[in-house]
Amino acid sequence: MLPLAHLSHTSLPHATGRCCVFIKAEPSPRACLPSAAAGKGTLRAGMDFLNFSTETWTLLVALVTLFVIYLYWPYGAFKKMGVPGPKPVPLFGTMLAYKRGFMNFDLELILVLSCCPRQNFRLNGPLYDAVSIAEDDQWKRIRSVLSPSFTSGRLKEMFDIMKHHSASLISSMKKKADANQPLELKEYFGPYAMDIVTSTAFSVDIDSLNNPSDPFVTNIKKMLKFDLFNPLFLAIAFFPFLGPLFEKMEFSFFPASVTDFFYAALQKIKSSRETSQHKSRVDFLQLMIDSQKQHVPNDLENDKGLSDHEILSQAMIFLFAGYETTSSSLCFLAYNLAVNPEVMEKLQAEIDSTFPNKASAQYQEVMQMEYLDCVVNESLRLYPIASRLERVAKASVEINGLLIPKDMVVMVPTWPLHRDPDIWPEPEAFKPERFSKENKDNIDPYTYMPFGIGPRNCIGMRFALVMMKLAIVEILQKYSFSVCKETEIPLEMDIQGLLAPKRPIKLKLEPRS
């Protein structure tokens, strides 16, 4: 894998060495000495080992040689390409140096390579045809069917549904606020995101805010529980050639019980929708069903309809993406406001002027709020949920004398890119003014990509932004976020899976006078 953050110089930590302690052993009169028979048995076993046939010895040496070559050969790729960097070690490559960090960004390289299709990782199980995983013509066809779900007109139609769930969110938070108790934010923003996704996508109201044990919620959490030390993940990481074998054996990174549950549930919803007489639905699922009805068999020019399995996969990936990314982004946004009260006060002033006397939020006005947009963008800069993007080069390309061969996996590390002091002055500071109208035009689009960039950016980006902005507006109309003794400052981040804090973010809500 080729990181776009390559080195101009390398600094490696010194080894600490090994300290050996020798203990003088005195012979004990009670010590038992091996018998002569035992000695003969050991000698005979050793002789049998040495008396392997020539063929056996040849095979053994060949296997050891191949294993040693496998340990070292893959890590010589960067050296052959002339890419400077830390010296790799067998099995781990340069993974151990990531924690120290090394970067030297080339924006032209990011611009060209981030537009290549995403690599299709193996062992995706039944999600092999989801829009975020599918490739080439299949991806284009699926994306073209889904895109109309996220137009401004569709989002405006969904806004009233979102407001219903934001009202439930505030009602749930009020109980803790009235008791002056800290809130564990994910317990509120997670169900809020889940309820909006299920209701706007499938017209199903699970009310997970009041029913945290709902099967949809528990199975989503199982799906998103990523274990870096999962034996299957480690096997693929260290021995990638085993991928096709595991795929044939139908192994998957996703728990079968979870995927089976969601495919069965979504199939039931789809079947009932097809037999229903009500045609007024405008949700995500209905759009995909309609694409099937408009599909003309054997018409290659208009072959855009989704198969039954493709419909279920898109619905499933929409659930996972909508739940985790939006809820985590809301948690980070609330945290940033709590630790930067002057920013929160300025945002509340804009909210009060846009919706005087706590007037009901409206779609058009929310989306036109300039400072709110700046605040959300700055929070996503500091905490991009997808801390890195990966693409695969579909053709060999040479940039600045560096040849990127076809099929090379290229990584765009958004976390360090968003915090590079050469790009962002005072990168650790929370400064929404970076994204003001006066400054926004000066930002290179390839230095800020919380939702990815290019043709394969996040298709649900606008949907997620509406959810986030609505929740923050309606909360800040009535309350202010504040830190408490349970608030961890600064946050310690978890390195597994999507970006998340190691420990839950806890804040208090204080009623506004």
Q: Would you give the end-to-end CA distance of the chain in angstroms?
A: 54
In 3D space, the residue among 111, 88, 108, 110 whose CA is nearest the CA of residue 98 turns out to be 88
Burial 106-124 (b: 16+ CB within 10 A, else e): eeebbebbbebbbbeebbb
Separation CA 410–CA 398 (nearest Å): 14
**HSE of 251 in the Cβ direction (CA atoms, 13 Å)?**
16
Q: What are phi and psi of 482, to 5 degrees?
A: -145, 150
Give the single-character DSSP code of 250. T
Separation CA 420–CA 57 (nearest Å): 55
CB 465 within 8 A of CB 152: no
Annotated binding-site members for heme: 458
Separation CA 85–CA 97 (nearest Å): 10
Annotated binding-site members: 458
CA distances 56 to 50, 52, 61, 408, 417, Å, are: 11, 6, 9, 38, 53
- Report the length, in residues, of the chain: 513
Q: Which two tokens stand for residue 17?
A: 């060495």
